[in-house]
Structure 1
Amino acid sequence: MRDRTIFFEKGPRAVLLFHAFTSTPNDVRSLARALERADYTVYAPTLSGHGTENPDDLFNYGIEDWKKDGEKAYKFLKEKGYEEITAFGLSLGGVVATHLMLTKNVLAAGTFSSPVIDNQESHVPKNFMIWYENMKEQAGYSREEIAGLKTAAEPQLKMILTGLNDFIQTMVPQYKNVEGSVFIGQGGRDEMINPHQSGEYRDALVNANVDFHWYDEGPHSITTGPTGKELQVDLLSFLSTLEWNGGNT
């Protein structure tokens, strides 16, 4: 499967976009195009282990690798000469973007349906197994073979998700120290995580300038479909309020 990394070079204002767990930058492609049309440079890398035809590739990686992917993406834009960088992500991608917000000099950051408070009570394991089974069926495995593969996959998935939640818990105490601008988007019909933790995240950012958006009919993947169109407008509006280049937008 080809690398689906996105890099749209336009204006001097740069935006990092990170995709969701088990997915690819296609998650954020329409959003990236909208940003490009508004003269933003957009970079959306493929996270390690993602975008391949074998779902078992994911088991070779975890949050430490995806954090490094985020840091590499930030460095990539810096080396390209972009001084002012913002970072956003869908679900797992939002965890990566939040890590950059806490550790790098980003102008602003944000999350779209991201478990940045708690990842324990989620439907991710169930939905992962449905996706995993579909991928194996497409690869030509028999029902019996898939049953055995799923049994082997379950503890590996649990290890990844436990590591992710442990990392999230190290970030939570730092939220009170954030003083910049933060965008939070959340779908009210999120089928993967508890949507109300987005409000908890907002409330934890006591010193930040938070732009919070709740999309009543929005699913987990709010970057696509009708909700994606709303999100594009809201994010562009948010970006226009930032002090790019000392106030020139």
Structure 2
Amino acid sequence: MKLVAPKSFTFKGGNRAVLLLHGFTGSTKDVKRLGEYLQKRGFTCHAPMYRGHGGTPEELLQTTPTQWWEDVVEGYNFLRNQGYEEIAVAGISLGGVFSLKVAEEFPVKAIVSMCAPIKRSNTDGLFDRLYNYAKVYKSFEGKSREVIIQELEALKNSPLDSLSDVQSFIEDACVDLPTISSPTLVLQGALDGDIYKESASFILEQVETDTKEIIWYEESGHIITTGKEKDKVCEDVYAFLNQLDWTESVRAVV
């Protein structure tokens, strides 16, 4: 069965813009609820779908972090070209790393970094995430157990250069954290892996801004935007963004 990949989305609200970024092996579904919540409260939200994501794991491995980053930059420029002068950026997992990188490279109103593995030191967890994604995806395709086992074994023997490139990208973003001066909100699930929890505290320490805070979600794991406390995540992101001194007034969507 051919599965339909999620697509980029734009939810138009008011003059305050938010760039929403999904994670590695994830999709725009991971940030859709947050986008809808913010739109209803007057924010315009755009979420780009990275190349290779949302399809087969084999297709994902044929793309590179450089291409995904290009998609992120294209998403930022999309909002700029639409006339939005103040853009906040919020990302989950690798999208959280991308959100920090956007702030290192471009003017942003604020950053919301969610469960970003900025302290990752190897690619082991990346392959585990890819492997688990492959198992679920191939099952949804309706393939037999025997075929799935064969294809997963082939996946183990595939070139994994893109995973090493992800690691290099994360390390570069980590080094430049002290260049960030925009207001920063760090969100982290308390049930997430140790590397993510360590990263959350590290990001808060490293960014050079007086407006920064961290919020922990005691009942949540990694993808907090779709987890048990997803509503609280939406509320906290909105509260953080809404208290900033925006040039344009907010306009709620009826």
Unaligned runs of 5+ in 1: none
Q: State TM-score, norm by structure 1.
A: 0.90
Alignment of 1:147-166 (within 5 A): 147-154=149-156, 156=158, 158-166=160-168
Structure 2 SS opposite 1:16: strand
Structure 1 SS opposite 2:130: helix
**Which residue among 25, 31, 34 is the counterpart of 2:34?**
31
Identity score, percent: 28
Query: In structure 2, what is the Cα distance between the partners aligned to 1:156 and 1:84?
Result: 42
Say whether 1:234 aligns with 2:236: yes
Query: In structure 1, what is the Cα distance between the partners aligned to 2:124 and 2:232?
Result: 25
Q: Is the 8 A contact 1:67 1:99 kept in 2?
A: no
Cα distance, 1:112 vs structure 2: 0.8
Q: Is the 8 A contact 1:188 1:214 kept in 2?
A: yes
Cα distance, 1:66 vs structure 2: 1.1
Counterpart in the other structure of 2:9: 6
Q: Is the 8 A contact 2:120 2:195 kept in 1?
A: no
Query: In structure 1, what is the Cα distance between the partners aligned to 2:153 and 2:232?
Result: 40
Query: In structure 1, what is the Cα distance between the partners aligned to 2:159 and 2:15?
Result: 39
Counterpart in the other structure of 2:89: 87
How many positions carry a matched residue from both structures?
Answer: 247
Say whether 1:47 aligns with 2:47: no
Worse-superposed segment, 191-200 or 64-73: 191-200
What amino acid does structure 2 have at the position aligned with 1:182? T
What amino acid does structure 1 have at the position aligned with 2:156? E
Q: 1:159 to 1:192 in 2, by over 3 A?
A: farther
Kindly provide the CA deviation profile for residues 134-178 of structure 1, in whole angstroms up to 9, marking residues without a partner as x: 322333444444333223323547432221111111122211122
**Which residue among 69, 72, 80 is the counterpart of 1:78?**
80
Unaligned runs of 5+ in 2: none
Q: Is the 8 A contact 2:183 2:209 kept in 1?
A: no
What amino acid does structure 2 have at the position aligned with 1:215? Y
Cα distance, 1:2 vs structure 2: 4.8
Counterpart in the other structure of 2:21: 18
Worse-superposed segment, 97-106 or 1-10: 1-10
Alignment of 1:1-249 (within 5 A): 1-52=4-55, 54-118=56-120, 120=122, 123-154=125-156, 156=158, 158-191=160-193, 193-207=195-209, 209-245=211-247
Cα distance, 1:97 vs structure 2: 1.3
What amino acid does structure 1 have at the position aligned with 2:18? V
RMSD: 2.2
Query: In structure 1, what is the Cα distance between the partners aligned to 2:227 and 2:18?
Result: 21
Q: Is the 8 A contact 2:219 2:228 kept in 1?
A: no
Q: Is the 8 A contact 2:123 2:167 kept in 1?
A: no
Q: Is the 8 A contact 1:121 1:194 kept in 2?
A: no
Structure 1 SS opposite 2:224: coil
Structure 1 SS opposite 2:52: coil
Q: Is the 8 A contact 1:36 1:42 kept in 2?
A: yes
Q: With CA pairs under 8 Å and 6+ residues apart, which has the higher RCO, 1 or 2?
A: 2
Q: 1:60 to 1:18 in 2, by over 3 A?
A: same
Query: In structure 1, what is the Cα distance between the partners aligned to 2:203 and 2:158?
Result: 28
Worse-superposed segment, 236-245 or 153-162: 153-162
Q: Is the 8 A contact 1:117 1:201 kept in 2?
A: no
Query: In structure 1, what is the Cα distance between the partners aligned to 2:34 and 2:50?
Result: 18
Cα distance, 1:185 vs structure 2: 0.3
